[in-house]
C-alpha cells in the first residue's frame, strides 16, 4: 500500500478526497462518521456518500463548520476537494462541564465574599474588643472554608453536631438571616462545610425569592434527616425545574442570580447519598435536602 494512504488509514481524523464530484478516497474514520462503506464509496458521486447538504456545500465553497452527524458533533474543514472530519463530541461535552464548574464555583464564592467584606467593614469601624475578636475569628473560619472549597476538599469528620451551630456564621455573612426561625434538634454527621454551602444557598433563595417568615428546620424521615428551609411564598409553577442548572423561577425575573444555587445543593445532597427537593406545603414552599443518617461517619 502507498505509504501516504497507509498513514491516512490509521489517522484519527477523517479524510474524504473528492475529484470531479466523485469520491477518490475515504479513510476508515470518515467512513465511520459518515456511515459509509469505504470499499463501495470510491468512485461514487460525493453527494451519495456524504448524504448531508452542509458537507456538499462546504465541499463546493470551502471553509469550516461544526455539524451534527448521526448523533456526533463533527468539526469539518473543507479545502480544495478535501474534507477533514474531526469528532468533537467529547471535547464539547468536556468544555460544557468545565464551564458549568467554573460558574458554580463563582456562584459559591459570591455571597461569602460579600459577607467577608461586611466583616472587614466592622473591623474598620473601631469595634469593641470582643466584637473585633469575633469578627476576626469568623473571617479566619470563612477564609479557611473557602480555601477548602477551592481545593475541592471536605472537612474532616466531626462528631454529631446540630445545624444551629452554623447560625452565628450564617447571620454574619447574610444579614437577612437574623430574622430566621430555627427548629433543628436532629444531630447531623455530614460534612459541615458542605452543609453550610447547602444552608447558605437555601436561606439566600428563601430571603430573595420567598416571603417571610422563613424557617430553618430538620425532620427525621425514613432513615434520613431532612434539612429544609420553609418560606410563606405562593405556590410555584414548577419545583423540579429550579434544580436544572441555569434555570430560574418565573418570579426571579429582575432579581440578580445565576440559577445555579439549587443545582449545587442537589449535587452536594447526592454526594451524601441523599437528594434535594422542593415541594409545596400548606403554609408555603419548602426547599431542602435529605441526608442519610450516618453520612460521613465512614470517612472518619
Partner 1 sequence: MREALDRDLNRITEHFLRMVSLVREELQLATAGLVEQDVEKARQAVRLDREVDALELEIENEVLAAIARHQPVARDLRFLATVLKALTDLERAGDYAAHVAEDALALAGEPPLKKYIVLGEMAERIETMLDLLAKAIAERDLQAAERVLKTDDDVDDLYEQIVRELLTYMLEDPRVLSKALTLMRVARSYERLGDHLENIAERVFFWLTGRLEGPAAAEG
Contact residues toward partner 1 (CB under 8 A) are 35-37, 40, 45, 47-49, 51-54, 56, 68, 70-71, 237-238, 240-241, 244, 249-250
- The distance of closest approach from Cβ of residue 52 to partner 1 in the complex, given in angstroms and rounded to an integer, is 5
Beta bridge partners of 78: 63, 83
- Give the distance from CA 300 to its chain's centroid: 28
Q: Smaller CB distance to partner 1: residue 47 or 139?
A: 47
- Cβ 79 to partner 1, closest distance in Å? 22
Q: How far is the CB of 240 from partner 1 (least distance, A)?
A: 8
Nearest to partner 1 of 11, 68 (CB atom): 68
CA distance 266 to 104: 12
Three-state DSSP at 287 gives strand
Which CB sits closer to partner 1, 220 or 280?
280
Give the nearer residue to partner 1 in terms of CB position, either 181 or 238. 238
Cell numbers 452536594 correspond to what residue? Answer: 268
Instruction: Please list the residues that pair with 101 across neighbouring strands.
Output: none
Is there a contact between 272 and 260 (Cβ–Cβ < 8 Å)? no
Q: How far is the CB of 280 from partner 1 (least distance, A)?
A: 12
CA distance 290 to 274: 5
Cα separation of the two ends of the chain: 62
Least distance in angstroms from the C-beta of 98 to partner 1: 20
Complex with partner 1: residue 179 or 238, whichever CB lies closer: 238
The residue among 127, 109, 195 whose CA lies nearest residue 135 is 127
Amino acid at each position: 500500500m502507498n505509504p501516504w494512504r497507509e498513514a491516512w488509514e490509521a489517522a484519527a481524523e477523517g479524510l474524504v478526497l473528492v475529484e470531479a464530484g466523485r469520491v477518490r478516497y475515504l479513510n476508515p474514520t470518515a467512513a465511520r462518521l459518515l456511515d459509509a462503506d469505504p470499499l463501495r464509496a470510491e468512485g461514487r458521486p460525493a453527494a451519495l456518500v456524504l448524504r448531508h447538504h452542509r458537507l456538499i456545500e462546504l465541499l463546493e465553497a470551502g471553509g469550516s463548520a461544526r455539524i451534527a452527524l448521526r448523533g456526533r458533533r463533527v468539526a469539518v474543514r473543507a479545502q480544495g476537494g478535501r474534507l477533514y472530519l474531526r469528532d468533537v463530541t467529547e471535547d464539547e461535552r468536556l468544555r460544557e462541564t468545565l464551564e458549568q464548574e467554573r460558574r458554580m464555583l463563582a456562584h459559591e464564592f459570591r455571597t461569602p465574599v460579600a459577607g467577608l467584606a461586611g466583616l472587614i467593614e466592622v473591623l474598620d469601624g473601631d469595634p469593641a474588643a470582643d466584637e473585633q475578636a469575633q469578627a476576626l475569628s469568623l473571617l479566619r473560619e470563612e477564609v479557611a472554608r473557602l480555601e477548602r472549597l477551592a481545593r475541592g476538599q471536605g472537612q474532616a469528620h466531626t462528631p454529631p453536631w446540630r445545624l444551629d451551630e452554623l447560625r452565628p456564621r450564617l447571620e454574619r455573612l447574610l444579614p437577612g438571616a437574623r430574622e430566621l426561625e430555627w427548629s433543628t434538634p436532629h444531630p447531623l454527621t455530614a460534612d459541615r462545610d458542605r452543609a453550610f454551602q447547602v444552608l447558605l444557598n437555601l436561606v439566600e433563595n428563601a430571603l430573595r425569592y420567598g416571603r417571610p417568615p422563613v424557617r430553618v428546620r430538620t425532620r427525621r424521615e425514613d432513615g434520613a434527616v431532612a434539612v429544609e428551609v420553609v418560606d410563606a411564598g405562593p405556590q410555584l409553577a414548577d419545583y423540579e425545574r429550579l434544580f436544572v442548572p441555569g434555570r430560574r423561577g418565573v418570579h426571579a425575573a429582575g432579581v440578580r442570580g445565576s440559577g445555579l444555587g439549587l443545582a449545587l445543593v442537589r449535587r452536594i445532597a447526592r454526594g451524601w447519598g441523599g437528594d434535594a427537593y422542593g415541594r409545596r406545603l400548606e403554609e408555603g414552599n419548602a426547599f431542602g435536602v435529605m441526608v442519610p443518617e450516618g453520612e460521613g461517619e465512614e470517612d472518619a
